[in-house]
Amino acid sequence: MKPELVSLILNAVQELGEHNGVPLPTALDGDTPLFGRDGLLDSLGLVTLVVAVEQAIEDELGVSVSLADERALSQRASPYRTVGALADYAGSLIRAAA
């Protein structure tokens, strides 16, 4: 499931870049930092991305999950620190909802 989620998140990041003028690097992958140190997104950008990913998971995988997490600001444990970390977090919630 992880590659599918990484690709879904990368699509959401691309869209955010196009619609909200967020400058993106040429290569995007699971290691791309999202939020926190060297992250692409400010807090409003993160909120927008999280909502877009929740809706994409609902539309494409038919599962409703809330990606809210109180570790958002943690450098080490934040599920929003990279694309891959967010994919892992979303995957764990999807498995728990199944």
Partner 1 sequence: MDTPITLITGTRKGIGRYLAEHYVRCGHRVVGCSRGDVDWSLDGYQHYVADVSDEQAARRIFTDVRKKYGRLDHLINNAGIGSMNHSLLTPLSTVNAVLNTNVVGTFLFCREAAKLMKTNAYGRIVNLTTVAVPLKLEGEAIYVASKAAVLSLTGVLARELAPFGITVNAVGPVAIETDLIRSVPKEKIDRLVSRQAIPRLGTAADVANVIDFYLLRTSGFITGQCLFLGGV
Q: Do the beta carbons of residue 46 and residue 85 sit within 8 Å? A: no
Give yes or no for residue 44 binding partner 1 (CB under 8 A).
yes
Q: Which of 66, 70, 76, 98 binds partner 1 (CB under 8 A)?
A: 66
Distances in Å between the Cα of 37 and the Cα atoms of 6, 21, 66, 83, 97 are 20, 20, 24, 13, 31
By beta-carbon proximity to partner 1, the closer residue of 27 and 96 is 96
Question: Binding of partner 1 at residue 92 (CB under 8 A)?
Answer: no
| Alpha carbons 97 and 89: distance in angstroms, whole number | 13
Residue positions counted in the chain: 98
Contact flag: residue 32 with partner 1 (CB under 8 A): no
Q: Given the complex with partner 1, which of 68 and 98 has the nearer CB atom?
A: 68
Residues forming the site for partner 1 (CB under 8 A): 44, 47-48, 51, 54-55, 58, 64, 66, 68
